[in-house]
A and B are shown apart, each in its own frame.
Chain A
Amino acid sequence: MKIKRRDFLKLSAAAGVAAAAFKGTALNALAEVTRGTIGGEKPGEWKASTCQGCTTWCPVEVFVQDGRAVKVRGNRYSKQNDGYVCPRGHLQLQEVYDPDRIKVPMKRTNPAKGRGIDPKFVPISWDEAFNTIADKMMALRQAGEPEKYLLLRGRYTYMRDLIYDGVTKIFGSPNNISHSAICAEAENFGAYYTEGMWGYRDYDISNSKYVLVWGCDPVSSNRMIPATIKRLGDVLDNATVAVVDPKMNNTSAKAQEWLPLLPGTDGALALALAHVLLSEGLWFKEFVGDFKGGKNLFKAGATVDEAAFEEKESHGVVRWWNLAVKDMTPKKAAAITKVPAEQIIRVARGMAKAAPNVAVWLGPGAAMQVRGGYSAMAVNALNGLVGGIDNVGGTLPSNKVPTRKMPHVDAYQDELAKKHAKLKKIDQRGTRAIPALKKGKSGGGVVTNNTATGILNADPYEIKVAVGYMNNFAFSCSGAERWEKAMARIPFFTHITTHASEMTQFADIVLPGATSTYEKLCWVKQKQNRYAQCTLLQPVIEPLWPVINDETEFPWMLGEKFAERGFPNLIDFLKKEFKDPETGKEATNSKEFTEYAVKYYTQDLWNGKKVGGDKITGWAEFRKRGMWNSDPQPYKTRWGGKFGKDEEKDGKKTTHGTVSHRFEFYSETLKKALTGHAEKHKTTVDDILAACNYTARGELAFVPHYEPPFRYGSEKEYPFTFIDYKSRLNREGRSQNAPWYYEFKHVDPGDVGWQDVLKINPADARKLGLKDGDKIRVTSVAGSIECTAHLWEGVRPGAVAKAFGQGHWAYGKTAAKDYAKAVPRGGNNNTLMPFDIERLSGANVRNGGFTGVKIQKA
């Protein structure tokens, strides 16, 4: 044994026990085991794209190693998500690499169509697929009936114009039908007929002192999820958060106040809050104005002279009080809603104290009801009463995203197209019982779910050829089975899709579509936290098989086939109107076309034009960053009579926004729209309201008011009121084939991993003799499903709640219990919920307690 180092003979530092004295080793023949080198992460690149797991449309970055997408995070430049994604961002990796993705175009060889009937799909070439589609479509033109072509759009990007408008209009059909009314059109109705904005609001919660969340769960769904997740903790410290939801949700679990109202009684609760604000003199005077004498004349039950009040930014507060508010005392509302009167008073006073830094966050739960149009208005009216509209800590409109509009198609439409594209639409919008009053216009908006009615009844005519993309109406619309029948009626249907969904089972040709975040070049726009954004979806990886971009490559490839058949109009439009804005070159193939088109739309964001927001110096930089942020949205942009403005063009006067140009408690705008619709059908507004299943008559039709909820199924036969809501892991309809969805299903409060549970209050379960985990059959007037009972105190006795998402009988081997035999895993809420629409807006109905169910042990 030798001494190897002199240190071995030295005494430890005389300094003694300071920790530093012990550092370093004085070993000779022994050594501490050294661990191997930590190599860390292998090289890769973060590439910018966009997540479309929900309507937040987060700018994201995808980490790519060896050409594979391996991780997802928020885009580092984003002022919306600050570089974070919610669980959906991570979950989507199982979507792009899903074993059940369609890898080749296929055609149906079994002409019989229906659930459980094997379409007997076989692979075909892209050429055969497009030849078949083009032949079928051209046959319609040859027969002089191009209107019998139907485009069914699902989730989209803003390249939608090309397939949705471009193809349809140049071909000559009026039938470009979007999914928008499944989403939350009734919510937009509430905003439009109070503040004159048909669009989703932005919420300045960082500066709020009171946030009243109504009918949604913003940390889980809605339109600013990561932004809300990031801020909620601080908001709870700095403000009061109150949540209106008939069942416990993620936000209400954390909030100071939870108001679990009876489903569908939102209007009564909103009016009662207004009653407190008005009768106690707590409204925000700078916005609403005040009594001329300064004395509050709003007394419960008492009619007030309109002349006594001088309004500032609003219109019709006294008339509203007289028509709808004066009798809705907290006590009366408590009886209707089952929310205690003291809580109503406390919340209203809390809001008043925090005014005007109050955001009333109007969600679909308050709106997507049979009679939800007026409850949406009532909830949004509260934003006016507390002055939070366009205000610090309140609700805001969005900054503009200065992208280009689609070039006009007129020059490419032949006579046939011009004439037939103006025919009535298959969704029957604007008919007497379906006003669909988007932006004040009779038949102004889509009535997605009613398209099935049009197809089934061949009213106004038969649909012979249809194309659908990124949609699955046979699963996602209430009364889903109606869609199965409707789809079976269409003689030739092409589905562009990533997965063989329920709707695909009715397809004659199936084209493998690109997944949105990973394989497409497109753009979308959205806003949050006062910033609007334009964000690119980019092909960050090479697809494993040839797939097409539905919105750009399908039109291009179809256009080429049309040209071969003597109809070059579509391809001419795409080539000539979407030249590369930098070089002026025409595209020669679908990929070039896609890039030129995206460049065309977004050019002003990166070509040096002064548009404000982020400075981006060129196309290459825009692609690298992946996004553009606007300047922050200023406050009070519409105060001073700018909630509406009149425009005169070619002698025709049109109004954008509210008719009174103010925030309307008495909606002159709705009065004009309803009157116009009634006149069109030569009838009265009262008749229209009756046809639309509303109870209001007379002047009440023009103010936010309470309508008793409409319910399918008697309480006797169907004793439980069904509550539908969205799982926070739903990537709209696209995550149910991902095993991680089931693994973490329990992050939905009250849910259980790998199960589809109906949540029942334990008291009710006791009465039914049900135990936790029992297999149950749930039945409504519309249909019946099987699922699992879970006893939970987050739902009131008499109501049951189930997250939407499961119950697929197709889509893939994970989503369905047995794909080959069409056996569903769990139950689809849309089987239970009957077909219906909120007729004033055209919106699908899924909330408001409209479905009664009975429960039996399976």
Chain B
Amino acid sequence: MTQYAMVIDLHKCVGCGACALACKTENNTALRRNGQTRNWADYQHETRGKFPKTTYMTRPVLCNHCSNAPCVKACPVTPKAMYKTRDGITMTNNERCIGCRACQDACPYSKMEVKDGETSVISFNEFDQPYEPFYADKSEAIPGCTSSGAEVAKKTDNPPHRTRYDHPDYADVRRPGIVEKCIFCEHRVKKGELPYCVVACPASARIFGDISDPNSEVARLVKKHKGTVLKPGKGTKPNVYYIRSYSVK
């Protein structure tokens, strides 16, 4: 049975930020507010040692699409709003989601509220708030001379660079009062494309495929480099693997 997985080659990754930004342009995720990052892809950084023997690394993070997903288990809705597709994607259904945030609470890779420097793979869109207030703001820096968020959105869309796509479970811009997270770009994958962060990575550090197929590149890389996952002790069985090390020192 298909199990989609992603391998992130830290040796190739330069921590540049392209994947997370590309994700924001593909999935039209809103800006951070109220402790919710809405970054379906994000980064964790680590500096160790004392100068000059300092080491530094960046680790791209995203939903781990766990085989044993606590978010799915926690979802109280019937049928579940957070569920596993037959291809092993941890899917979130916008229509069924009631915004209880039990998934966010249950996910060991998420925070109900992030502080500086923290990441959360599940974010929550507050009730009764436009998805992106930045482009609903009517104020003008120079009245009558410069534009406003609302005016730009009126002439374009919200967000103005909104990438339009159709998917039965999730919208290209999600409504208020629900959670959202990486869905492995299923709207692309099912059309024979790769997730957008994968095609956008200038280092080709992200590899996507069916890990249940031992001949797939993801399976071979995980085997060859003894891929690791985040928080293995939690028993979540993540399907995002990290191989090699960020630094050669």
Contact = CB atoms under 8 A, between A and B. Distances in A.
B202 A86 contact: yes
B88 to A, nearest CB: 14
A463 interface: no
B160 A740 contact: no
B109 interface: no
Contact of B16 (A101, A728, A761, A795): A728
Nearest to B168: A36
B36 interface: no
Contacts of B139: 813
A470 to B, nearest CB: 18
B165 interface: yes
A754 B249 contact: no
Interface in A259-291: 260
Given A68-B161, A500-B141, A796 B43 contact: no
Contact of A220 (B9, B16, B160): B16
B8 to A, nearest CB: 12
A253 B247 contact: yes
Contact of A744 (B9, B21, B202): B21
Nearest to A84: B202
Interface string A125-155: 0000000000000000000000000000000
B167 interface: yes
A812 B141 contact: yes
A216 interface: no
Contacts of A232: 12, 14, 203
A230 B117 contact: no
A42 B137 contact: no
Contact of B155 (A233, A544, A728): A544
B15 A750 contact: no
Interface stretch (A92-100, A318-326, A701-709, A839-847): A92-100
Given A41-B164, A91-B21, A254-B248, A793 B49 contact: yes
A802 to B, nearest CB: 16
A44 B25 CA distance: 14
Interface stretch (A69-77, A156-164, A185-193, A204-212): A69-77
Contact of B142 (A89, A500, A794, A795): A500
A622 B56 CA distance: 44
Interface in A25-75: 33, 35-42, 44, 63, 65-66, 68-74
Given A84-B202, A86-B18, A99 B137 contact: yes
Interface string A790-806: 00111111000000000
A236 B163 CA distance: 36
Interface in B196-210: 196, 199-205
A91 B18 CA distance: 9
Nearest to A797: B51
Interface string B103-120: 000000000000011000
Nearest to A252: B56
A596 to B, nearest CB: 30
Among A729, A740, A820, the one with the most B-chain Cβ atoms within 10 Å of its Cβ is A740
A103 interface: yes
A309 B132 CA distance: 71
A76 B139 CA distance: 40
A253 B17 contact: no
Contacts of A36: 168-169
A229 B12 CA distance: 8
B144 A744 contact: no
Contact of A248 (B56, B168, B205, B246): B56
Contact of B188 (A41, A250, A797): A41
Contact of B43 (A68, A90, A251, A746): A746
A65 B116 contact: no
Contact of A747 (B16, B48, B152, B203): B16
Nearest to A816: B141
Nearest to B116: A752
Among B151, B159, B187, B202, the one with the most A-chain Cβ atoms within 10 Å of its Cβ is B202
Contacts of A820: 141
A747 to B, nearest CB: 4
Contacts of B144: 104, 122-123
Contact of A229 (B14, B51, B149, B152): B14
A41 B164 CA distance: 6
B20 interface: yes
B56 A233 contact: no
Given A754-B116, A794-B56, A254 B164 contact: no
Interface string A228-242: 011011001100010
Contact of A99 (B56, B116, B134, B169): B134
A544 B156 contact: yes
A813 B149 CA distance: 11
Contact of B168 (A38, A230, A749, A752): A38
B166 interface: yes
A103 B145 CA distance: 6
Contacts of A739: 31, 134
Given A39-B187, A66-B164, A103 B51 contact: no
B75 to A, nearest CB: 15
Contact of B54 (A89, A97, A248): A248
A566 to B, nearest CB: 32
Interface string B124-151: 0000000000110101011011111101
A500 B147 CA distance: 11
Given A230-B202, A747-B17, A813-B139, A39 B165 contact: yes
Given A63-B163, A100-B141, A754-B116, A40 B25 contact: no
Nearest to B48: A793
B229 interface: no
B51 A260 contact: yes
A657 interface: no
A744 B31 CA distance: 11
Contacts of B37: 743
B233 interface: no
Interface string B225-249: 0000000000000000000001111
A236 B13 CA distance: 12
A76 B57 CA distance: 30
Contacts of B249: 255-256, 258
A279 B97 CA distance: 73
Nearest to B79: A33
A172 B162 CA distance: 48
B230 to A, nearest CB: 18
Contacts of A226: 202
Interface string B161-183: 11111111100000000000000
Given A74-B202, A819-B141, 17 more contacts: A35-B85, A39-B165, A44-B164, A87-B17, A90-B25, A93-B25, A97-B159, A99-B152, A103-B146, A106-B145, A226-B202, A253-B247, A260-B51, A747-B15, A747-B17, A793-B54, A797-B51
User: Which are the 3 A-B pairs with shortest beta-carbon distances?
Assistant: A39-B166, A36-B168, A233-B12
30 contacts: A33-B79, A38-B166, A38-B191, A44-B164, A68-B160, A70-B164, A84-B18, A84-B201, A86-B202, A99-B152, A100-B146, A100-B147, A101-B152, A103-B145, A226-B202, A233-B12, A248-B54, A251-B14, A254-B246, A256-B249, A500-B142, A500-B146, A544-B155, A545-B147, A728-B17, A739-B134, A740-B21, A747-B15, A755-B116, A794-B47
Interface of B: 9, 11-12, 14-18, 20-22, 24-26, 31-32, 37, 39, 43, 45, 47-52, 54-58, 79, 85, 116-117, 134-135, 137, 139, 141-142, 144-149, 151-152, 155-157, 159-169, 186-188, 190-191, 196, 199-205, 246-249
